[in-house]
Structure 1
Amino acid sequence: MKKLIMMVALVAATYGTFAQTVDLRRKVEVNGTAEKEVTPDIINVSISLKEYMDGKKKISISELEKQLEGAVSAAGIPKEDFTVNNVSGWNNATEKKKNPDFLASKQYGIRVRDLNKYNQLLSKVDPKGIQYTNITSYDYSKMPELKKELKLQALLAAKEKANYLVTALGDKLGKVLSISENDGGGSVYPQARMYSNVAMRSAVADAPESDIDFQKIKLSFQVNAVFEIQ
């Protein structure tokens, strides 16, 4: 008899636990997506200067660097946005002893917020001393705010989708039960570009308009939400 009572109690306890863990609420699960394109307003560029021979005269890195520093200052670019990235052979006494014709090079990083200023400073540097210039990366100054805005829009889109699906069945949408987010499709940035010495000579001479202003950053966010059906 005691064994029977214990078995009944065990079954009752198991059933009670099962009833507590199984969610019997009716639910609808949907995805919401939000996208937006913005024009980059922060552009990081790299410029490599290299010594060259003008006849028998060597145009030194110091001369080219002074030109670049002056151009950066004239363009109104803050000092903290102008840095030395790398030095190739600079102050390399051993190399210069081995090869008197050794030509040193030096790389600089510049952050610009107005592409016209970038074109302006390049026009004031001897194009023969520019080995190459490289657009290394792009960014958008209000990116954190934009991400929050898109995530909220994606969540509202999910709620709207869930509402019309549930309403179509004659039910009402209840409270949200869970929310999860993910990068829906990813963020698309413009391709970085590199221009050689020859291309830079042409660019400085012809001063063509750049199309970087039209190279958009595309952001896309997706939110997964589960709502209760009343």
Structure 2
Amino acid sequence: MKQLFAAALLSLVTLGTIKAQTPDLRRKISVSGTAETEVTPDIIYVSISLKEYFENGNNKKRVDISTLENQLYAAAQKAGIAKENLTISNLNSWTNTSGKKKNPDFLASRQYLLKVSDLNKLDQIISSIDSRGIQSTGIQSYDYSKMEQLKKELKIKALQAAKEKASYMVAALDGKLGDVLEIQDSGDSPVQPVLYRNYAMKAEAADTAGGDADLDFKKIKLSFTVNTVFEIK
């Protein structure tokens, strides 16, 4: 019985080895397809840093951080930004006002994190705050709310592009495209960086510019490539 089992096992191994060594004589064509698009981010986290300043260089006429903060919250509310989308990003900034007690010339600052979906609203908010009280702003992160669905659609388009390419190349040689034998996803492409012009500007720079700084925001660019192998009939 043991000899019979061993013989059967050896037979299966031998057949498997012969099958593995049999060359694939099917005619094939390997092509790649690419699909890309650009979208405007609709989830944007912006850091905003406000800092006290003295009016006209007079250290007795301080514009307090609370005044600037009220301007920010009022502007956000007017722009339709939900209260929870504007938060303090640096808890230490709450205690920095104590420095004024030790040094009359100390200028307190606070950092905030603002979530917006429309850049026009961001521009509206920033322009409602005294530019001399804006120490800096910058993009913390950004995203697109329908990113996963968009990736799926692009990969399908890339696959369709590969099939179309294979079809006309095979047809040019009077052949006919067969079934797809292999599909290889190249993976998710990295999101291209968004360019942003920082609002960091001193009072004199704001006066020279004639007002608030301009926002320069580019779209997110996504590109996906799919490698395929088709049989040629």
TM range (shorter): 0.7 to 0.9
Which residue number in structure 1 is paired with residue 206 of structure 2? Answer: 201
- Aligned equivalent of 1:77, options 75, 78, 81: 81
**1:51-86 per-position Cα deviation (integer Å, ceiling 9, x unaligned):** 223331332222211111111001111123212111
Q: Percent identity?
A: 52
Which residue number in structure 2 is paired with residue 4 of structure 1? Answer: none
Aligned residues: 221
**1:119-143 per-position Cα deviation (integer Å, ceiling 9, x unaligned):** 2222222222111122334433322
> Cα–Cα, structure 1 residues 80 and 93, in superposed 2: closer, same or farther, change >3 Å?
closer
Q: Given the two structures, how large is their TM-score scaled by the length of structure 1?
A: 0.79
> Cα–Cα, structure 1 residues 184 and 137, in superposed 2: closer, same or farther, change >3 Å?
closer
Q: Whole-Å Cα distance in 1 between the matches of residues 45 and 208 of structure 2?
A: 18
RMSD: 3.1
Deviation for aligned residue 1:101: 3.0
Deviation for aligned residue 1:13: 6.1
Which residue number in structure 1 is paired with residue 149 of structure 2? Answer: 145
Q: Given the two structures, how large is their TM-score scaled by the length of structure 2?
A: 0.78
Q: Whole-Å Cα distance in 2 between the matches of residues 71 and 39 of structure 1?
A: 23
> Cα–Cα, structure 1 residues 65 and 28, in superposed 2: closer, same or farther, change >3 Å?
same
Q: Whole-Å Cα distance in 2 between the matches of residues 124 and 92 of structure 1?
A: 24
* Structure 1 residue 18 corresponds to structure 2 residue 22: no
> Cα–Cα, structure 1 residues 146 and 111, in superposed 2: closer, same or farther, change >3 Å?
same
Contact 1:45–1:111 (CA under 8 A) maintained in structure 2: yes
Q: Whole-Å Cα distance in 2 between the matches of residues 110 and 229 of structure 1?
A: 56
Letter in 2 for 1:145: Q
Q: Whole-Å Cα distance in 2 between the matches of residues 25 and 39 of structure 1?
A: 48
Q: Which runs of structure 2 are paired with 1:154-169 in the superposition (5 Å)? A: 154-169=158-173
- Aligned equivalent of 1:125, options 114, 124, 129: 129
Which residue number in structure 2 is paired with residue 48 of structure 1? Answer: 49
Contact 1:88–1:105 (CA under 8 A) maintained in structure 2: no
Letter in 2 for 1:81: N
Contact 2:197–2:216 (CA under 8 A) maintained in structure 1: no
**1:161-181 per-position Cα deviation (integer Å, ceiling 9, x unaligned):** 222233333432222222121
Q: Single out whichever of 83-92 and 12-21 deviates more from structure 2.
A: 12-21
Q: Which runs of structure 2 are paired with 1:52-131 in the superposition (5 Å)? A: 52-54=53-55, 55=58, 56-92=60-96, 95-96=99-100, 98-131=102-135
* Structure 1 residue 222 corresponds to structure 2 residue 225: yes
> Cα–Cα, structure 1 residues 226 and 181, in superposed 2: closer, same or farther, change >3 Å?
same
* Structure 1 residue 34 corresponds to structure 2 residue 38: no
Could you say what secondary structure the match of 2:167 adopts? helix
> Cα–Cα, structure 1 residues 43 and 13, in superposed 2: closer, same or farther, change >3 Å?
closer
